[in-house]
Structure 1
Amino acid sequence: MSIPAAFLFRIVEEHTGTVIALVVSAALFGATHLVDVNATLWGTPSLGLTGGTMTAAAYVATRSLWLPISLHFAWNFTHAGIFGVVLSGSDLPPHGLLNATLSGPAPLTGSTFGPEASLLALLVCLGPTTFWLRRAARTGQIRHRPRRAVAYAGSDSSSKTK
């Protein structure tokens, strides 16, 4: 989660609550990857669900940007820097410590978009996302949608009786 994304998340959260802000954050995270090299219709929502929801959940649990930014950096570094697999948004061949070659069905490998668009990435990210959302709920970090005062036609606050 970047600083502009966190700023937008907080604005949406103030007006709609944490749940809607998480959905909006995940959708925007996925949508920003639509312009990536080799973007696919499966890859962008997958990336929104994995990266967008996981980093936003980490922010909600900690109310700090250190963890989500570190997660995003570690995710990218692990893919490209260690395993040497394609990173979404990059058309450069990866040069990692290892040179992994992915083969198999697109839902398992992420196809040309990279492993970030795979079912495996969804499963891997489900654990930490669930952990941080449960932690946020236990510590009272989940914010509910603010209730709006309902104004009734013809009522006047000065004429109310006690």
Structure 2
Amino acid sequence: MTSIETALSTAIIEELVFRRLMLQSIQKLWGSWIALAVTSLTFGAFHLGNPGATLWSALAITLKAGVLLGAAFLWRRNLWFAMGLHFAWNALEDALGIPVSELPAAGLFTVKANGAAWLTGGDFGLDGSIVTVIVEIVIANPMLIGAAQKRP
């Protein structure tokens, strides 16, 4: 399987499970914000199984990808939008040679981060960096505001 196929299949499967099945089911029972919190935490915990994962990397995935992708879905109410964001992030990292959640990448460059793990993501890759957590939370905020404004 090529890296593009892997990025695409991962985005489709994870978004179907976490946003389509889990988020929408929990949302019907307890509302959007609880659904977002539960699915984000579950999404982070799911990534603990990846090689090189730590409690910090799982928390980073929870805060950045779980919240961002959940916010994207709640804002646009479109699973394809969340899948597209997920795919774009994974495919870009892979194309540049950056490990995707510590899974090896065969991209244009050979990337080895040096420095504090909290800053670089360490062995887990950019997905475990405080920098990407902050950037993706900043991107998620307008989506969360938009989702809150759409609520009846």
For normalisation by structure 1, the TM-score amounts to: 0.80
Computing the radius of gyration from Cα coordinates, the structure with the larger value is: 1
How far did residue 136 of structure 1 move? Answer: 1.1
Q: Which has the higher helix share?
A: 2
Gaps of 5+ in 2: 1-13
Question: Aligned equivalents of 1:86 and 1:10: distance in 2?
Answer: 30
Any conservation in 1 of the 2:67–2:137 contact (CA below 8 Å)? no
How far did residue 89 of structure 1 move? Answer: 5.0
Any conservation in 2 of the 1:50–1:125 contact (CA below 8 Å)? yes
Choose from 38, 47, 59 the match for 1:45: 59
Shift in CA distance, 116/25, structure 1 to aligned 2, threshold 3 Å: same
1:73-100 Cα offsets, whole Å, 9 max, x none, are: 111111111x21111152x3x2212333
Q: Percent identity?
A: 31
1:122-160 Cα offsets, whole Å, 9 max, x none, are: 11101221010111122227xxxxxxxxxxxxxxxxxxx
Gaps of 5+ in 1: 142-162
Supply the RMSD in Å over aligned alpha carbons. Answer: 1.4
Map residues 16-95 of structure 1 onto 2, 5 A cutoff: 16-81=30-95, 83-88=96-101, 90=103, 92=104, 94-95=105-106
Map residues 1-162 of structure 1 onto 2, 5 A cutoff: 2-5=15-18, 6-81=20-95, 83-88=96-101, 90=103, 92=104, 94-140=105-151
Question: Aligned equivalents of 1:46 and 1:117: distance in 2?
Answer: 6
1:87-127 Cα offsets, whole Å, 9 max, x none, are: 1152x3x2212333321111111111111011011111012
* Equivalences, count: 138
Any conservation in 2 of the 1:37–1:89 contact (CA below 8 Å)? yes
The higher relative CO (CA closer than 8 Å, separation ≥ 6) is in 1
Question: Aligned equivalents of 2:52 and 2:113: distance in 1?
Answer: 16
For normalisation by structure 2, the TM-score amounts to: 0.85
* Counterpart AA for 1:130: N
